[in-house]
Chain A
Amino acid sequence: RKEVEQDPGPFNVPEGATVAFNCTYSNSASQSFFWYRQDCRKEPKLLMSVYSSGNEDGRFTAQLNRASQYISLLIRDSKLSDSATYLCAVNGRNKLVFGAGTILRVKS
């Protein structure tokens, strides 16, 4: 089993839709969780950290479910500019482990 797993997608959604991605992790001792966004041929950029109580940043909501060992990212009112690959990251033993990413395509 991979340390961090994501559905690769692609998720094809119309503008204005709500879309959610999950990311499962295997290390129950993990303490740090992040979502990164990566545009085509660019570097990953931090989108948001994921806190135990969940957190929201505008149209983006991140949540952590420790019991089931997954984190989620919800995007409301999708924009064309949200099209990207979304990577989750979870701390493993002395390193940050990244998922392979979920592709989101928002279409008009």
Chain B
Amino acid sequence: DVKVTQSSRYLVKRTGEKVFLECVQDMDHENMFWYRQDPGLGLRLIYFSYDVKMKEKGDIPEGYSVSREKKERFSLILESASTNQTSMYLCASSPPQGRFVGNTQYFGPGTRLTVL
């Protein structure tokens, strides 16, 4: 079974804080993703990575950055958290298929972030 883990299930931070969300997968997947999920808006792609040290912007990258130093780990960074970044953050990974990322994605349990 694919296992994707995220560092925290619930997180509360203050406006302006730097926030790190960690994601680890154990299936040697090349591709990893960060989404946020908000009611009525569905899953929106923030960033993804198809290899170590590679990253590509998704649909809503503003206010976020990412780091992929090791194949199994993909970190999402909120440089200066704002209240509109309160959301559920979901990490996913998928099997290698070059730069084509249309393959099945496996999700972590999510981190519910509240920014006060």
Number of residues on chain A facing chain B (CB within 8 A): 22
Nearest B residue to A6 by beta-carbon distance? B42
- CB < 8 Å A-B pair total: 50
Nearest A residue to B42 by beta-carbon distance? A100
Nearest A residue to B112 by beta-carbon distance? A41
B107 touches A98 (CB 8 A): no
The answer to the question of A43 belonging to the interface, with a C-beta cut-off of 8 Å to chain B, is yes
B-chain residues with CB within 8 Å of residue A100 when the two chains form the complex: 40-42
User: Looking at the complex, which one of B45, B107, B109 makes contact with A95 (CB distance below 8 Å)?
Assistant: B45
Most chain B CB within a 10 A radius of its CB, from A45, A49, A98:
A98
B48 touches A95 (CB 8 A): yes
B40 touches A96 (CB 8 A): no
The answer to the question of B103 belonging to the interface, with a C-beta cut-off of 8 Å to chain A, is yes
The answer to the question of A71 belonging to the interface, with a C-beta cut-off of 8 Å to chain B, is no
State the Cβ distance, B111 to closest chain A Cβ, in Å.
10
Interface string of A9-33 (1 = CB under 8 A from B): 0000000000000000000001110
A-chain residues with CB within 8 Å of residue B108 when the two chains form the complex: 43
Measured in the bound complex, the distance between the Cα atoms of B40 and A8 in whole Å is 8
B-chain residues with CB within 8 Å of residue A42 when the two chains form the complex: 109-110
The answer to the question of B69 belonging to the interface, with a C-beta cut-off of 8 Å to chain A, is no
A34 touches B104 (CB 8 A): yes
A-binding residues in B (CB < 8 A): 35, 40-43, 45, 48, 56, 58, 90, 94, 99-110, 112
Could you show 9 A-B contacts with beta carbons less than 8 Å apart?
A32-B102, A41-B112, A44-B90, A45-B107, A94-B100, A94-B101, A95-B101, A96-B102, A98-B43
B-binding residues in A (CB < 8 A): 8, 30-32, 34, 41-46, 49, 87, 89, 91, 94-96, 98-101
